[in-house]
Structure formats: C-alpha cells, structure tokens
Amino acid sequence: MLAKRIIPCLDIKDGRTVKGINFVDLRDAGDPVELAEIYSREGADELVFLDISATEQKRKTLADLVYRIGEKINIPFTVGGGISSVKDVDILLQNGADKVSVNSSAVKNPRLINDLVAKFGSQCIVVAIDAKQIDGKWTVHLVGGKVPTELDLFDWAKEVERRGAGEILFTSMDNDGTKDGFANEALARLSTELNIPIIASGGAGNMQHFTDTFVKGKADAALAASVFHFKEIEINDLKKELQKEGIPVRL
C-alpha cells in the first residue's frame, strides 16, 4: 500500500495565513513563509498554498509569495487560487510550485483541465472541490464557498477524472474548521468510485480523525490547517501515532 500523506494547508488572504470555520470568521494564523519552513522541517509530505481571495478579487495568485515559500522548502508544493489559464500555471511553476490546484475556473470552463493536463501532465494538476450538503445532496460551491452551483460532487469528480486530473482535493464545507472529523462517508464514496488519489480536507481536530479518514474514508492524503498552525498536533507525533495504528506513512 502507498504511504498516506499528511499535508498542511496555508490559506492565504492579504499575504497572511488565515483560518476560519465553515469558510467564514477568518483569523490570522501567522506568516506563510515561516510556517512553510517549519512544516518542511517537521516532516510534512507536501504543502498546499491556497490564495483564497484571488478568485473573488479577480486577480492572480501571489507569485512573489509562492517564490519566497518555494525557496524555503524541499517538499512537493501545490499552489491554487485565481488560476484560469496555461500561462497562469507556467508562472507558478517557474516560481517554485510543483503542482497547481484549480477550482472555480475548472467548473466555469471544464476544458481548462484538459488543456492543463495536455501541457503539464496529469501529475501536475489537482482539482479542488468545495462542497456542502443541501437537501441531502453534496453541492459544489465556487469562489471560496460563496457561490452554490447545480453540480453534484460525485458527478463533477468523475468528470474531473475523465478530463485527466491527477488528484482531487475535496473539502467538506460542513466540516471545515469544526474539528469534528472529516466527511468520511463522502470520501469513501469518492475513493471507491474514482481511480485517482483523493485528498481529504475539512474537519481535522485530533489524531484519531486522521486515522479515521484513512481507514473509514479511504483517503490517500489528509490536509489540515489550524491543528498544525496553532500547534495542537505536531506532524511527527501524528505520523508515529498513525504508524502505530498500522497506517503506512513516511517517517
């Protein structure tokens, strides 16, 4: 079995790392360059950088900040926010990103996924999907969770895979920031119905939640923010605990 990945996430707004609950009530969580360096040193498998206000503010991702982070880390680095073209991805890869994450732009123009995969390869393209349950259905949301669509999570995930994306980063808006655990039922369905890796996001509050998302949710990786930013969980301690539970991780 492939090693499960632990991925800290830097949600960036106005150049600072922030964290909220259910995508609102954001609070400052520190300097992104400093945090990135710490996570790289402490054994994170990858790092995700999401410029959460880029789409809403109709601007591009902060390439300069991406460059400064890329200089300080030696782990795979995924960057997202405001990406809508091949040129945008080119700029981010030149500034230190290893992979890119597209979300709203892919829903508005699904062909973008095909174009990016053709140019950069599947391994470079992550599609982020933010969804919440409305009337019992997982509904995809855009623009940092502010705009609901008619899309069903599972239908969209299958289309994303068909178009060649290498991974899906699924964030449950219902679980985000609650520290009540990941949306394991939805994650298990995604993992069962798709053949590409699924990254779980939204809801991490303790070490057991990570075990549960790997076992019950069948996730390939688990992404978290506040539990790492505010030192509630140390990455190395988490990996040792997962190893004790029989979950393969890189120590």
Backbone angles phi, psi at 112, to 5 degrees: -55, -40
- Per DSSP, the three-state class of 46 is coil
Tokens 């095909």, located at residue? 114
Please indicate whether residue 11 is annotated as part of the active site: yes
The answer to whether 20 and 177 have CB atoms below 8 angstroms apart is: yes
**Residue 3 CB-density burial (10 A; 0-12 exposed, 13-18 middle, 19+ buried):** middle
11, 88, 212, 220: the catalytic one is: 11
Please indicate whether residue 176 is annotated as part of the active site: no
Token output for 70? 């890329």
- Per DSSP, the three-state class of 219 is coil
Q: Count the Cβ atoms, other than its own, within 10 Å of residue 174.
A: 17
The answer to whether 21 and 178 have CB atoms below 8 angstroms apart is: yes
45, 51, 88, 130: the catalytic one is: 130
The answer to whether 25 and 18 have CB atoms below 8 angstroms apart is: no
Beta strands (DSSP E) in 5-124 are 5-13, 16-21, 24-30, 47-51, 77-80, 99-102
Tokens 């922030």, located at residue? 18
Closest CA to 51 of 86, 107, 7, 102: 102
- Cβ-proximal residues to 162 (8 Å cutoff; 6+ apart), any chain: none
- By annotation, the residues acting in catalysis are 11, 130
